[in-house]
Structure 1
């Protein structure tokens, strides 16, 4: 159940995109000219070397290469990156190693190259299989490229692959949303991320919001889509993640179980528990210019004991599996008595149930997750 104390996950951020999507609030930067990808790989390694002081001789349990668009990097560069990482920190032989890919930036040879470089899981940013929806989302691929990329993933010797899909899109109706899911199910990925489009500040959609489905329609889309996925063998194990049995994303499970992880690359975040029980969070320099000048760490700070219960449950209650009480103590170094009042309040409001070993979020708690988490503020 618990991640061994000698293991850790690693997140690697690749900051460049061909085009910035209007809904995206991730740290991504539009290509104005071809970056020096070799130099960036060099700085990622130096960044990791500086983070070793936080790690207490741990072994890497999972790696996630996200972005941005990591598939702009060649397989040769990814191989060099993973090889150097393994020289600095040992990678478990069965570690899950994921790379994100956009459908327009890959072909079968690149997928094979990533597999040969050590990648065993690819996450493909499809978002929709309908060209009109892709256009409104500012995506640079079309539906044919999305289907082709997903089929490529089937033809490569990977442990797993994921398709990212969105719902609640501009002017989307139920038939549109179910069409995307049916197309994905036909491709038969072991893992599906299906999440609702939200309007974030500091995005183009934030300044010029599109017309989105109303709450009643969103609920109907979710209910029918969820049932369709369940009927086709997908289990919902997290708020927006579905998987066939034994294909849950191990890297994300570590996040939601409040495990430790390093973050290298522009704007990457890390969370590392020290031997004295202090939890340190790290944030790396956001802009490639500063990062490529060797300025990696923007700031680091210790999470206060007062904030730990909220941070723990903010992550843990995204998962639909039971939350072991022992895990709270192991991850936060706080006694259960610290949160007796909040737990009682959550139980009285039917947000969670409990037995001797576990807490379990209820269906009511899933619907009112923000209200549940506010109890721990």
Structure 2
């Protein structure tokens, strides 16, 4: 294996804004209840200083996408978001067709800011609807109501954005097939260019983990998924990732870069980054200080830890990401983006190919329909092979 076998993948930027009005019981993200006054200006200055420290990792690349996540980034002012984007652009050039996404809640306070966000340079909003039913929103700890969610979606569709996404959960507490489909029909009626439709899972260290709600059984979950997938396809939405459905031309570019094992800088509280260093034949990961108080402490470094992804871990991480996509995986990219010989991938995938989970051609791998249903088993086999 030569140094030239590893290539620089596309580069994205993730920006984490950690504050929320309140913590949702299912949420395991790094989020914190907002203080009486959010230190917006101080935090933006910190983000840009954080980016300054990571600039060498850009290695001459342009940014293909930016994702501002949280927390609730729409708690920041449009002027603050514009100042942040201007600061980023002054440090790293933007690709001509850059996608810049901001996560937003559909409450009235945030919705009023949507036009300002578009003027500031946001090209895509990702709106956390989660349900269109009062009782479910209450169970999920959401502070908006169905009418506000509908208003937010309609307002987003009227703005000069390239796209917008609506998040919708299924498999909610005591949810039936009929209620799940009613939620999905309500979202489809709003005609978003993109829908993230994903199953609620109980994550450790959440309120739901300590007091688990009653969730639908596996048979109901399967019916919801099967019927929902058929309905989304009929409405013109193409599934391109496990939980992502887009109309033509509206796939989420930032998440695509994650799943295709691209690079990304991560700035902000608890943000993670993944960087390729081809001349050193290394892939490194970074994690920033999690708590806002520590992150804004000028006496310490923004980086909490940094580590190298070892070769056997690269195999698993590559396929853990790449196999989330329904598209075929070019075999040439495995060596280009991991720096590892193709034989390592072939050995790791052998069991899944034998079981019919992976279709193996001369130039590509691709999950079969069965493999998509048993993706966790495919990843478990990879871990067993690595071990």
TM-score by length of 2: 0.95
Number of equivalenced pairs: 374
Aligned pair partner of 2:367 in 345, 357, 361:
361
1:217 corresponds in structure 2 to 220
Once the two structures are TM-superposed, the CA of residue 180 in structure 1 deviates from its matched residue by 1.0
Give unpaired runs (5+ residues) of structure 2.
1-6
Contact 1:107 1:152 in 2 (8 A): no
Aligned pair partner of 2:288 in 284, 291, 294:
284
Contact 2:70 2:103 in 1 (8 A): yes
2:332 corresponds in structure 1 to 326
Once the two structures are TM-superposed, the CA of residue 170 in structure 1 deviates from its matched residue by 0.5
Contact 2:166 2:195 in 1 (8 A): yes
Alpha-carbon distance between aligned partners in 2 of 1:319 and 1:337, rounded to the nearest angstrom: 22
1:46 corresponds in structure 2 to 49
Q: 1:109 to 1:32 in 2, by over 3 A?
A: closer
1:64 corresponds in structure 2 to 67
Alpha-carbon distance between aligned partners in 1 of 2:139 and 2:318, rounded to the nearest angstrom: 36
Alpha-carbon distance between aligned partners in 2 of 1:318 and 1:279, rounded to the nearest angstrom: 20
TM-score by length of 1: 0.97
* RMSD (CA atoms): 1.2
2:153 corresponds in structure 1 to 150
Contact 2:8 2:278 in 1 (8 A): no
1:299 corresponds in structure 2 to 305
Tell me whether 243-252 or 6-15 shows the greater mean CA deviation.
Answer: 6-15
Q: Does 1:338 align with 2:313?
A: no
1:310 corresponds in structure 2 to 316
2:116 corresponds in structure 1 to 113
Give runs of aligned pairs for residues 124-203 of structure 1, distance below 5 A.
124-203=127-206
1:265-318 per-residue CA deviation (whole Å, 9 max, x = no partner) reads 000000010132210100000000001113410011110011111000000000
Alpha-carbon distance between aligned partners in 2 of 1:208 and 1:108, rounded to the nearest angstrom: 32
Alpha-carbon distance between aligned partners in 1 of 2:159 and 2:208, rounded to the nearest angstrom: 36
Once the two structures are TM-superposed, the CA of residue 32 in structure 1 deviates from its matched residue by 3.6
- Of structures 1 and 2, the one scoring higher in RCO (CA 8 A, sep 6+) is 2
Alpha-carbon distance between aligned partners in 1 of 2:108 and 2:382, rounded to the nearest angstrom: 43
Once the two structures are TM-superposed, the CA of residue 148 in structure 1 deviates from its matched residue by 0.5
2:271 corresponds in structure 1 to 268
Alpha-carbon distance between aligned partners in 2 of 1:256 and 1:274, rounded to the nearest angstrom: 19
Contact 1:66 1:99 in 2 (8 A): yes
Alpha-carbon distance between aligned partners in 2 of 1:282 and 1:232, rounded to the nearest angstrom: 40
Alpha-carbon distance between aligned partners in 2 of 1:374 and 1:7, rounded to the nearest angstrom: 28
1:47-100 per-residue CA deviation (whole Å, 9 max, x = no partner) reads 000001222122111000000000000100000000010111111221000000
Contact 1:71 1:105 in 2 (8 A): no
Secondary structure of the corresponding residue to residue 376 of structure 1: helix
Contact 1:264 1:284 in 2 (8 A): yes
Tell me whether 356-365 or 38-47 shows the greater mean CA deviation.
Answer: 356-365
Tell me whether 105-114 or 214-223 shows the greater mean CA deviation.
Answer: 105-114
Aligned pair partner of 2:355 in 349, 356, 376:
349
Alpha-carbon distance between aligned partners in 2 of 1:157 and 1:167, rounded to the nearest angstrom: 30
Secondary structure of the corresponding residue to residue 312 of structure 2: coil
Alpha-carbon distance between aligned partners in 1 of 2:48 and 2:217, rounded to the nearest angstrom: 46
Secondary structure of the corresponding residue to residue 321 of structure 2: helix
Once the two structures are TM-superposed, the CA of residue 339 in structure 1 deviates from its matched residue by 2.7
